Amino acid sequence: MTFEDLNLNTPLHNALNDLGFTTPTPIQAEAFNVVASGKDMVGIAQTGTGKTFAYMLPILKNLKFSKQDNPRILVLVPTRELVVQVVDEIEKLSKYINNRVLGVYGGTNINTQKQAVAQGLDIIVATPGRLYDLALSRALQLKSIQKLVIDEVDVMLDLGFRHQLINIFDILPQRRQNIMFSATMTHDVELLINDFFINPEQISIAVSGTPLENISQTKYQVLNFYTKVNLLVHLLKDRENFNKVIVFVAYKRMADRLFEKLDEFFKEELCVIHSNKTQNYRLRSIEQFREGVNRILIATDVMARGLDIDNVSHVINFDTPEYPENYMHRIGRTGRAERKGESVLFYTEKEQEALENIETLMQMEIPVVDFPETVEISNELTPEERPEIKERNNPHRQKEEDAPGPAFHEKKAKNQKVNLGGSYRRDMAKKYKKPKTRGDKNANRRNKRK
Protein backbone atom coordinates (compact mmCIF):
# COMPACT_ATOMS: atom_id res chain seq x y z
CA MET A 1 0.00 0.00 0.00
CA THR A 2 1.09 3.58 -0.70
CA PHE A 3 -0.33 6.92 0.41
CA GLU A 4 -2.01 7.09 -3.02
CA ASP A 5 -4.31 4.27 -1.88
CA LEU A 6 -5.56 6.26 1.14
CA ASN A 7 -7.52 8.71 -1.03
CA LEU A 8 -5.82 11.77 0.44
CA ASN A 9 -6.40 15.24 -0.97
CA THR A 10 -3.79 17.06 -3.04
CA PRO A 11 -2.44 19.37 -0.27
CA LEU A 12 -1.66 16.35 1.95
CA HIS A 13 -0.06 14.45 -0.94
CA ASN A 14 2.16 17.44 -1.68
CA ALA A 15 3.18 17.73 1.97
CA LEU A 16 4.04 14.00 2.17
CA ASN A 17 6.03 14.24 -1.05
CA ASP A 18 8.03 17.13 0.40
CA LEU A 19 8.76 14.99 3.46
CA GLY A 20 9.80 12.06 1.26
CA PHE A 21 7.11 9.67 2.56
CA THR A 22 5.55 7.27 0.06
CA THR A 23 4.44 4.23 2.08
CA PRO A 24 2.29 4.35 5.24
CA THR A 25 3.30 2.34 8.30
CA PRO A 26 0.91 -0.47 9.39
CA ILE A 27 -0.75 1.68 12.09
CA GLN A 28 -1.22 4.54 9.59
CA ALA A 29 -2.80 2.24 7.03
CA GLU A 30 -5.08 0.46 9.55
CA ALA A 31 -6.20 3.58 11.45
CA PHE A 32 -6.97 5.84 8.48
CA ASN A 33 -10.47 4.61 7.58
CA VAL A 34 -11.54 4.16 11.22
CA VAL A 35 -10.55 7.71 12.22
CA ALA A 36 -12.05 9.12 9.00
CA SER A 37 -15.37 7.33 9.71
CA GLY A 38 -15.89 9.23 12.97
CA LYS A 39 -15.95 6.12 15.21
CA ASP A 40 -14.22 6.00 18.58
CA MET A 41 -10.89 4.22 18.18
CA VAL A 42 -8.14 2.73 20.35
CA GLY A 43 -4.82 2.11 18.64
CA ILE A 44 -2.13 -0.13 20.14
CA ALA A 45 1.24 0.08 18.37
CA GLN A 46 4.87 0.14 19.37
CA THR A 47 6.42 3.53 19.85
CA GLY A 48 8.22 4.78 16.76
CA THR A 49 5.64 3.52 14.24
CA GLY A 50 4.22 6.90 13.18
CA LYS A 51 1.17 7.26 15.43
CA THR A 52 1.02 11.07 15.03
CA PHE A 53 0.50 10.82 11.26
CA ALA A 54 -1.91 7.91 11.84
CA TYR A 55 -4.49 10.19 13.44
CA MET A 56 -3.59 13.54 11.83
CA LEU A 57 -3.81 12.45 8.16
CA PRO A 58 -7.54 11.50 8.29
CA ILE A 59 -8.33 14.45 10.58
CA LEU A 60 -6.67 17.01 8.29
CA LYS A 61 -8.26 15.45 5.22
CA ASN A 62 -11.76 16.12 6.61
CA LEU A 63 -11.01 19.42 8.39
CA LYS A 64 -12.80 22.10 6.40
CA PHE A 65 -11.77 25.75 6.36
CA SER A 66 -13.45 27.81 9.06
CA LYS A 67 -13.13 31.34 10.44
CA GLN A 68 -14.54 30.46 13.88
CA ASP A 69 -12.31 31.24 16.87
CA ASN A 70 -12.89 28.13 18.97
CA PRO A 71 -10.82 24.97 18.28
CA ARG A 72 -12.41 21.92 16.67
CA ILE A 73 -9.61 19.39 17.28
CA LEU A 74 -8.02 18.71 20.69
CA VAL A 75 -4.83 16.65 21.04
CA LEU A 76 -3.70 15.80 24.59
CA VAL A 77 -0.12 14.67 25.24
CA PRO A 78 1.76 14.07 28.53
CA THR A 79 4.80 16.39 28.30
CA ARG A 80 5.79 19.85 27.09
CA GLU A 81 8.42 18.44 24.75
CA LEU A 82 5.80 16.25 23.10
CA VAL A 83 3.51 19.27 22.60
CA VAL A 84 6.28 21.02 20.66
CA GLN A 85 6.97 17.88 18.62
CA VAL A 86 3.32 17.19 17.70
CA VAL A 87 2.73 20.82 16.71
CA ASP A 88 5.79 20.60 14.47
CA GLU A 89 4.48 17.39 12.83
CA ILE A 90 1.04 18.93 12.23
CA GLU A 91 2.60 22.04 10.70
CA LYS A 92 4.62 19.85 8.31
CA LEU A 93 1.43 18.12 7.12
CA SER A 94 -0.43 21.45 6.97
CA LYS A 95 2.12 23.12 4.71
CA TYR A 96 -0.46 23.50 1.92
CA ILE A 97 -3.56 23.69 4.16
CA ASN A 98 -4.96 26.89 5.64
CA ASN A 99 -5.43 25.99 9.31
CA ARG A 100 -4.33 27.35 12.69
CA VAL A 101 -2.42 25.20 15.18
CA LEU A 102 -1.41 26.13 18.74
CA GLY A 103 0.51 24.24 21.43
CA VAL A 104 0.01 25.09 25.12
CA TYR A 105 1.77 23.67 28.17
CA GLY A 106 2.70 24.57 31.74
CA GLY A 107 5.88 26.25 32.90
CA THR A 108 5.36 29.29 30.66
CA ASN A 109 3.35 32.52 30.95
CA ILE A 110 -0.34 31.64 30.78
CA ASN A 111 -1.29 35.21 29.78
CA THR A 112 0.77 34.91 26.59
CA GLN A 113 -1.08 31.68 25.78
CA LYS A 114 -4.44 33.34 26.49
CA GLN A 115 -3.60 36.02 23.95
CA ALA A 116 -2.64 33.36 21.39
CA VAL A 117 -5.91 31.48 22.00
CA ALA A 118 -7.89 34.70 21.52
CA GLN A 119 -6.50 35.01 17.96
CA GLY A 120 -8.54 31.95 17.00
CA LEU A 121 -7.41 28.40 16.16
CA ASP A 122 -8.52 25.12 14.62
CA ILE A 123 -6.27 22.57 16.38
CA ILE A 124 -4.96 22.82 19.93
CA VAL A 125 -2.24 20.51 21.27
CA ALA A 126 -1.92 20.62 25.05
CA THR A 127 -0.83 19.03 28.28
CA PRO A 128 -3.86 18.26 30.50
CA GLY A 129 -2.98 20.68 33.33
CA ARG A 130 -2.54 23.81 31.22
CA LEU A 131 -5.56 23.03 29.04
CA TYR A 132 -7.78 22.74 32.12
CA ASP A 133 -6.40 26.03 33.53
CA LEU A 134 -7.20 27.83 30.27
CA ALA A 135 -10.69 26.33 30.16
CA LEU A 136 -11.45 27.27 33.80
CA SER A 137 -10.34 30.86 33.17
CA ARG A 138 -12.76 30.94 30.20
CA ALA A 139 -9.95 32.05 27.93
CA LEU A 140 -10.47 28.81 25.96
CA GLN A 141 -13.89 27.56 24.89
CA LEU A 142 -14.13 23.82 24.23
CA LYS A 143 -17.78 23.76 23.09
CA SER A 144 -16.78 23.28 19.43
CA ILE A 145 -14.46 20.28 19.93
CA GLN A 146 -15.39 17.57 17.43
CA LYS A 147 -12.46 15.18 17.88
CA LEU A 148 -10.42 14.38 20.99
CA VAL A 149 -7.07 12.63 20.52
CA ILE A 150 -5.18 11.28 23.56
CA ASP A 151 -1.64 10.34 22.57
CA GLU A 152 0.65 8.26 24.83
CA VAL A 153 -2.30 7.68 27.17
CA ASP A 154 -0.47 5.04 29.24
CA VAL A 155 2.22 7.61 30.01
CA MET A 156 -0.38 10.16 31.08
CA LEU A 157 -1.93 7.75 33.55
CA ASP A 158 1.53 6.82 34.89
CA LEU A 159 2.18 10.52 35.52
CA GLY A 160 -1.04 10.88 37.54
CA PHE A 161 -3.17 12.74 34.98
CA ARG A 162 -6.25 10.54 35.42
CA HIS A 163 -8.28 13.08 37.45
CA GLN A 164 -7.34 15.92 35.11
CA LEU A 165 -8.43 13.83 32.12
CA ILE A 166 -11.77 13.09 33.77
CA ASN A 167 -12.25 16.81 34.50
CA ILE A 168 -11.55 17.61 30.85
CA PHE A 169 -14.02 14.95 29.67
CA ASP A 170 -16.70 16.63 31.81
CA ILE A 171 -16.33 20.01 30.05
CA LEU A 172 -16.12 18.64 26.51
CA PRO A 173 -19.20 18.25 24.27
CA GLN A 174 -20.91 14.89 24.66
CA ARG A 175 -21.05 14.34 20.89
CA ARG A 176 -17.44 13.98 19.82
CA GLN A 177 -15.07 11.37 18.42
CA ASN A 178 -12.57 9.88 20.88
CA ILE A 179 -9.24 8.64 19.52
CA MET A 180 -6.64 7.05 21.77
CA PHE A 181 -3.13 5.77 21.05
CA SER A 182 -0.93 3.79 23.40
CA ALA A 183 2.17 1.60 23.21
CA THR A 184 0.94 -0.66 26.04
CA MET A 185 -2.54 -1.67 27.20
CA THR A 186 -2.59 -1.40 30.98
CA HIS A 187 -5.48 -1.91 33.42
CA ASP A 188 -5.81 1.86 33.93
CA VAL A 189 -6.09 2.41 30.17
CA GLU A 190 -8.88 -0.20 29.95
CA LEU A 191 -10.80 1.53 32.77
CA LEU A 192 -10.59 4.87 30.96
CA ILE A 193 -11.84 3.31 27.72
CA ASN A 194 -14.77 1.59 29.45
CA ASP A 195 -15.83 4.80 31.20
CA PHE A 196 -15.67 7.32 28.36
CA PHE A 197 -15.55 5.60 24.96
CA ILE A 198 -18.59 4.46 22.98
CA ASN A 199 -18.07 1.04 21.32
CA PRO A 200 -14.51 1.85 20.29
CA GLU A 201 -12.86 -0.06 17.46
CA GLN A 202 -9.50 -1.42 18.60
CA ILE A 203 -6.58 -1.65 16.21
CA SER A 204 -3.58 -3.64 17.46
CA ILE A 205 -0.55 -3.71 15.22
CA ALA A 206 1.36 -5.77 17.79
CA VAL A 207 0.62 -7.43 21.11
CA SER A 208 0.91 -4.92 23.94
CA GLY A 209 4.52 -4.89 25.11
CA THR A 210 6.01 -6.33 21.90
CA PRO A 211 9.32 -4.64 21.02
CA LEU A 212 10.13 -3.60 17.47
CA GLU A 213 11.92 -6.37 15.59
CA ASN A 214 14.53 -3.96 14.24
CA ILE A 215 15.82 -3.15 17.76
CA SER A 216 18.70 -5.36 18.91
CA GLN A 217 18.76 -5.82 22.71
CA THR A 218 21.61 -6.81 25.06
CA LYS A 219 22.21 -6.65 28.81
CA TYR A 220 25.17 -6.45 31.22
CA GLN A 221 25.15 -7.55 34.86
CA VAL A 222 26.97 -4.81 36.80
CA LEU A 223 27.96 -4.56 40.46
CA ASN A 224 26.98 -0.97 41.39
CA PHE A 225 26.52 2.64 40.22
CA TYR A 226 30.19 3.57 39.81
CA THR A 227 30.95 0.32 37.99
CA LYS A 228 28.08 1.20 35.67
CA VAL A 229 29.74 4.57 35.09
CA ASN A 230 33.02 2.85 34.17
CA LEU A 231 31.24 0.49 31.77
CA LEU A 232 29.30 3.37 30.20
CA VAL A 233 32.48 5.39 29.64
CA HIS A 234 34.06 2.31 28.04
CA LEU A 235 31.14 1.93 25.60
CA LEU A 236 30.78 5.63 24.76
CA LYS A 237 34.45 5.94 23.81
CA ASP A 238 33.53 3.95 20.70
CA ARG A 239 32.34 7.11 18.91
CA GLU A 240 31.92 5.41 15.55
CA ASN A 241 29.27 2.92 16.72
CA PHE A 242 27.77 4.92 19.60
CA ASN A 243 27.27 8.02 17.46
CA LYS A 244 23.91 9.21 18.86
CA VAL A 245 23.05 7.85 22.30
CA ILE A 246 20.24 8.41 24.83
CA VAL A 247 21.15 7.29 28.36
CA PHE A 248 18.08 6.71 30.54
CA VAL A 249 18.17 7.03 34.33
CA ALA A 250 15.48 6.60 36.97
CA TYR A 251 15.37 10.03 38.62
CA LYS A 252 16.73 13.58 38.54
CA ARG A 253 19.40 13.18 41.21
CA MET A 254 20.91 10.21 39.37
CA ALA A 255 20.84 12.19 36.10
CA ASP A 256 22.83 15.05 37.63
CA ARG A 257 25.26 12.65 39.32
CA LEU A 258 25.88 10.78 36.07
CA PHE A 259 26.27 14.04 34.13
CA GLU A 260 29.04 15.17 36.51
CA LYS A 261 30.92 11.89 36.05
CA LEU A 262 30.60 11.78 32.25
CA ASP A 263 31.46 15.47 31.91
CA GLU A 264 35.06 14.58 32.87
CA PHE A 265 35.36 12.50 29.67
CA PHE A 266 32.94 13.90 27.09
CA LYS A 267 32.54 17.65 27.82
CA GLU A 268 30.80 19.27 24.80
CA GLU A 269 29.41 15.95 23.57
CA LEU A 270 27.07 15.74 26.56
CA CYS A 271 23.69 17.22 27.50
CA VAL A 272 20.99 16.38 30.07
CA ILE A 273 17.23 16.94 30.49
CA HIS A 274 14.95 16.44 33.48
CA SER A 275 12.03 18.29 35.06
CA ASN A 276 14.21 20.54 37.26
CA LYS A 277 15.74 22.14 34.17
CA THR A 278 14.07 25.23 32.70
CA GLN A 279 11.84 24.82 29.67
CA ASN A 280 14.26 26.72 27.39
CA TYR A 281 17.20 24.61 28.61
CA ARG A 282 15.29 21.38 27.94
CA LEU A 283 14.14 22.38 24.47
CA ARG A 284 17.63 23.61 23.60
CA SER A 285 19.21 20.35 24.81
CA ILE A 286 16.81 18.27 22.71
CA GLU A 287 17.39 20.44 19.65
CA GLN A 288 21.18 20.26 20.00
CA PHE A 289 20.99 16.48 20.36
CA ARG A 290 18.63 16.21 17.38
CA GLU A 291 20.96 18.30 15.20
CA GLY A 292 24.06 16.34 16.27
CA VAL A 293 25.72 19.14 18.27
CA ASN A 294 25.66 16.81 21.27
CA ARG A 295 26.26 13.08 20.85
CA ILE A 296 25.02 11.91 24.29
CA LEU A 297 21.71 12.84 25.96
CA ILE A 298 21.05 11.87 29.60
CA ALA A 299 17.31 11.80 30.29
CA THR A 300 14.73 10.65 32.82
CA ASP A 301 11.75 8.57 31.70
CA VAL A 302 9.28 11.46 31.84
CA MET A 303 11.34 13.81 29.71
CA ALA A 304 11.94 11.54 26.72
CA ARG A 305 8.47 9.97 26.46
CA GLY A 306 7.27 10.03 22.88
CA LEU A 307 10.22 12.07 21.59
CA ASP A 308 10.84 11.45 17.90
CA ILE A 309 14.55 11.93 17.19
CA ASP A 310 15.99 10.50 14.01
CA ASN A 311 18.96 8.15 13.80
CA VAL A 312 19.42 7.38 17.52
CA SER A 313 22.01 4.61 17.33
CA HIS A 314 21.70 3.35 20.92
CA VAL A 315 19.46 3.57 23.96
CA ILE A 316 21.35 2.71 27.15
CA ASN A 317 19.27 1.83 30.19
CA PHE A 318 21.65 2.91 32.93
CA ASP A 319 19.22 1.44 35.46
CA THR A 320 16.55 -1.21 35.07
CA PRO A 321 13.12 0.49 35.18
CA GLU A 322 10.76 -0.71 37.88
CA TYR A 323 7.78 -0.77 35.51
CA PRO A 324 8.31 -2.92 32.39
CA GLU A 325 6.20 -0.53 30.27
CA ASN A 326 8.83 2.17 30.87
CA TYR A 327 11.45 -0.09 29.28
CA MET A 328 9.27 -0.37 26.17
CA HIS A 329 9.02 3.41 25.91
CA ARG A 330 12.76 3.81 26.44
CA ILE A 331 13.93 1.45 23.74
CA GLY A 332 11.36 2.91 21.36
CA ARG A 333 13.54 6.03 21.05
CA THR A 334 15.80 4.04 18.72
CA GLY A 335 14.88 1.97 15.67
CA ARG A 336 12.28 4.54 14.60
CA ALA A 337 10.76 4.63 11.12
CA GLU A 338 11.91 1.03 10.48
CA ARG A 339 15.60 1.86 10.95
CA LYS A 340 17.97 -0.40 12.89
CA GLY A 341 18.53 0.42 16.56
CA GLU A 342 20.29 -1.03 19.58
CA SER A 343 19.33 -1.16 23.26
CA VAL A 344 21.72 -1.88 26.13
CA LEU A 345 20.53 -2.63 29.67
CA PHE A 346 22.61 -2.43 32.87
CA TYR A 347 21.25 -4.36 35.85
CA THR A 348 22.46 -5.13 39.36
CA GLU A 349 21.52 -8.00 41.63
CA LYS A 350 18.85 -5.80 43.26
CA GLU A 351 17.34 -5.08 39.83
CA GLN A 352 17.06 -8.75 38.88
CA GLU A 353 13.32 -8.92 39.63
CA ALA A 354 12.61 -5.84 37.52
CA LEU A 355 14.56 -7.41 34.65
CA GLU A 356 12.50 -10.61 34.89
CA ASN A 357 9.27 -8.57 34.72
CA ILE A 358 10.50 -6.86 31.53
CA GLU A 359 11.39 -10.18 29.91
CA THR A 360 8.02 -11.61 30.94
CA LEU A 361 6.19 -8.70 29.29
CA MET A 362 8.17 -9.07 26.06
CA GLN A 363 8.00 -12.88 26.21
CA MET A 364 11.69 -13.08 25.41
CA GLU A 365 15.01 -13.20 27.25
CA ILE A 366 17.47 -10.41 26.55
CA PRO A 367 20.90 -11.84 25.56
CA VAL A 368 23.57 -11.23 28.20
CA VAL A 369 27.02 -9.88 27.27
CA ASP A 370 30.11 -10.72 29.33
CA PHE A 371 31.45 -7.86 31.41
CA PRO A 372 34.60 -6.45 29.70
CA GLU A 373 37.82 -7.41 31.49
CA THR A 374 39.34 -3.97 30.82
CA VAL A 375 36.61 -2.14 32.78
CA GLU A 376 37.43 -1.42 36.42
CA ILE A 377 35.03 -2.77 39.04
CA SER A 378 34.51 -0.06 41.65
CA ASN A 379 33.90 -0.67 45.36
CA GLU A 380 32.63 2.86 45.93
CA LEU A 381 28.92 3.04 46.75
CA THR A 382 26.36 5.82 46.41
CA PRO A 383 24.37 6.83 49.54
CA GLU A 384 21.41 4.83 48.20
CA GLU A 385 23.54 1.69 47.77
CA ARG A 386 25.21 1.75 51.18
CA PRO A 387 23.79 -0.82 53.60
CA GLU A 388 21.78 0.47 56.53
CA ILE A 389 23.95 0.36 59.68
CA LYS A 390 22.24 -1.35 62.58
CA GLU A 391 23.92 -0.50 65.91
CA ARG A 392 24.33 -3.28 68.44
CA ASN A 393 25.36 -3.02 72.11
CA ASN A 394 25.56 0.76 71.90
CA PRO A 395 25.69 2.00 75.55
CA HIS A 396 24.34 5.40 74.48
CA ARG A 397 21.41 3.98 72.60
CA GLN A 398 18.15 4.20 74.49
CA LYS A 399 16.57 0.85 75.26
CA GLU A 400 12.94 0.29 74.57
CA GLU A 401 12.09 -0.29 78.22
CA ASP A 402 13.64 3.08 79.10
CA ALA A 403 11.61 4.95 76.52
CA PRO A 404 9.38 7.61 78.07
CA GLY A 405 5.73 6.71 78.32
CA PRO A 406 2.65 8.94 78.29
CA ALA A 407 2.72 11.82 80.81
CA PHE A 408 0.40 11.46 83.88
CA HIS A 409 -0.40 13.81 86.73
CA GLU A 410 -3.40 14.68 88.92
CA LYS A 411 -5.72 17.31 87.55
CA LYS A 412 -5.92 20.65 89.30
CA ALA A 413 -9.06 21.28 91.32
CA LYS A 414 -10.47 23.79 88.83
CA ASN A 415 -10.18 21.17 86.09
CA GLN A 416 -11.97 18.44 88.04
CA LYS A 417 -15.46 19.76 87.35
CA VAL A 418 -17.83 17.31 85.74
CA ASN A 419 -20.80 17.87 83.50
CA LEU A 420 -23.86 17.72 85.75
CA GLY A 421 -26.32 17.88 82.89
CA GLY A 422 -29.94 18.67 83.67
CA SER A 423 -29.65 18.69 87.48
CA TYR A 424 -27.00 21.40 87.29
CA ARG A 425 -29.32 23.64 85.26
CA ARG A 426 -32.15 23.09 87.75
CA ASP A 427 -29.90 24.08 90.65
CA MET A 428 -28.96 27.28 88.85
CA ALA A 429 -32.64 28.02 88.17
CA LYS A 430 -33.42 27.72 91.91
CA LYS A 431 -30.51 29.89 92.91
CA TYR A 432 -31.32 32.75 90.53
CA LYS A 433 -35.10 32.28 90.60
CA LYS A 434 -35.23 31.71 86.84
CA PRO A 435 -38.46 30.49 85.28
CA LYS A 436 -38.55 26.88 84.19
CA THR A 437 -39.47 27.99 80.67
CA ARG A 438 -39.43 31.29 78.90
CA GLY A 439 -43.20 31.38 78.55
CA ASP A 440 -44.02 30.49 82.17
CA LYS A 441 -44.76 33.98 83.56
CA ASN A 442 -46.15 32.70 86.87
CA ALA A 443 -43.06 30.68 87.75
CA ASN A 444 -41.28 33.60 89.46
CA ARG A 445 -44.38 34.40 91.53
CA ARG A 446 -44.57 30.84 92.78
CA ASN A 447 -40.87 30.89 93.66
CA LYS A 448 -41.33 34.11 95.70
CA ARG A 449 -44.19 32.65 97.71
CA LYS A 450 -42.00 29.72 98.67
The answer to whether residues 371 and 222 touch, using CB atoms and an 8 Å cutoff, is yes
CA angle 34, 35, 36 (to 5 degrees): 90
CATH architecture of 215-362: 3-Layer(aba) Sandwich (3.40)
Helix or strand run (H / E) with residue 91: helix 80-93
DSSP 3-state of 49: coil
Does 340 score more than 90 pLDDT?
A: no
The answer to whether residues 58 and 36 touch, using CB atoms and an 8 Å cutoff, is yes
Would you say the CATH fold of 215-362 matches that of 3-204? yes
Report how far residue 361's alpha carbon sits from residue 342's, in angstroms, rounded to the nearest whole number.
Answer: 19
Out of 27-36, 129-138, 229-238, 418-427, which region has the weakest mean confidence (pLDDT)?
Answer: 418-427
Report how far residue 10's alpha carbon sits from residue 40's, in angstroms, rounded to the nearest whole number.
Answer: 26
The answer to whether residues 241 and 316 touch, using CB atoms and an 8 Å cutoff, is no
Burial 146-166 (b: 16+ CB within 10 A, else e): bbbbbbbbbbbbbbebeebbe
Give me the percent of the chain exceeding a pLDDT of 70: 85
Give the confidence band of 269 by pLDDT, cuts at 50, 70, 90: very high
Alpha carbon separation from 23 to 11, 307, 335 (Å, rounded): 17, 22, 17
Does 248 score more than 90 pLDDT?
A: yes
Query: For the chain, what are the domain ranges?
Result: 3-204, 215-362
The answer to whether residues 319 and 351 touch, using CB atoms and an 8 Å cutoff, is yes
Helices 80-93 and 279-291 cross at an angle (nearest 10°) of 50
Out of 81-90, 154-163, 384-393, which region has the weakest mean confidence (pLDDT)?
Answer: 384-393
Does 400 score more than 60 pLDDT?
A: no
Give the confidence band of 259 by pLDDT, cuts at 50, 70, 90: very high
Count CB neighbours of 126 within 10 A.
27
Report how far residue 320's alpha carbon sits from residue 326's, in angstroms, rounded to the nearest whole number.
Answer: 9
The pLDDT, as a whole number, for residue 244 is 95
- What fold is seen in the domain 3-204? Rossmann fold (3.40.50)
Report how far residue 241's alpha carbon sits from residue 235's, in angstroms, rounded to the nearest whole number.
Answer: 9
The pLDDT, as a whole number, for residue 305 is 66
Does 413 score more than 90 pLDDT?
A: no
Does 401 score more than 60 pLDDT?
A: no
